[in-house]
Amino acid sequence: MTSTRTAVVTGSTSGIGLAIAHGLAAEGCNIVVNSFSDRPGDHAIAESVAREHGVGALYVQADMSKADQCRTLVTRAAKEFGSVDILVNNAGIQHVAPVEEFPTEKWDAIVAINLTSAFHTSAAAIPLMKTAGWGRIVNIASAHGLVASPFKSAYVAAKHGIMGFTKTVALEVARSGITCNAVCPGYVLTPLVEAQIPDQMKAHNMDRDTVIREVMLAKQPTKQFVTVDQIAAAVSFLCSENAAQINGTHISVDGGWTAE
């Protein structure tokens, strides 16, 4: 990859998204960092990425639950750098509760941010990629895009949806020099996962260590958390020329979880 390529990574001020931003910047891509807030620290993250890797970087505030802001994120990136060559749909939120107790507003927010935002960003980016004759769309799904777990109805539904969306987009763009794939992480110790632990403790009536051991890592045969850098490496590979014929599928980075 060269510095003439630009990557938009949604939800990229921390955790998996930030690691992906650094990974693509290390490959020479200009980077658009995104989150829903607009604090000095957010802009400082983009400045740090630019400084560390010698690329262009821009922070763009956009709420991924809002259709217009999803699309504006892409158009703003294209205006700044002249193109959007790589789109990584990473933004996500989580809530854990039984179906009968699941708050409607949480369901709506999870589906909007984890699934519908990818539709809006992709719809805005694909015409730019078609014009360029090259593009990569990578959707950060989850092991929960392939299998289910209790108390995560909205998240599992959204991630299963993103897998179907990935396949559909891949078929539509297959002759345009564009690929669309998904990465399915297992449990990665990110701020999102950390935030789940208290809810899981309550739902399962367990202490923290027991939840990690018996609920989270119980399904990962390696008994280790996936690292953010391992996810970033998978994304970078899918964005490379060596992955040009990988389209409409997924890479599981889950310690063997979905092999069972």
- In this structure, are residues 125 and 117 in contact, taking their beta carbons and an 8 Å threshold? no
* Per-residue pLDDT, 2: 47
d(CA 173, CA 180): 8
Q: Mind listing the domains of the chain with CATH numbers?
A: 6-186+227-252 (3.40.50.720), 187-225 (no CATH)
DSSP 227: P
* Contacts of residue 45, Cβ cutoff 8 Å, sequence gap at least 6: 13, 18, 33, 59
The reply to whether the predicted model has a pTM over 0.85 is yes
* Per-residue pLDDT, 161: 98
**What averages of pLDDT result for each successive group of 10 residues across the chain (260 residues)?**
81 97 98 97 98 98 98 98 98 95 98 98 98 98 97 97 98 98 94 83 93 89 93 98 98 96
* Per-residue pLDDT, 34: 98
Sheet with 250-253, side-by-side order of all strands: 57-61, 30-35, 6-9, 86-89, 135-140, 178-185, 250-253
Q: How many CB atoms lie within 10 A of CB 158?
A: 27
* Per-residue pLDDT, 196: 81
* Per-residue pLDDT, 43: 98
* Per-residue pLDDT, 54: 97
For 62, the 3-state DSSP assignment is coil
DSSP 224: S
* Per-residue pLDDT, 1: 46
d(CA 231, CA 84): 21
Determine which one of 155, 187, 225, 257 is catalytic: 155
Whether 155 sits among the annotated catalytic residues: the reply is yes
* Per-residue pLDDT, 189: 84
* Per-residue pLDDT, 194: 84
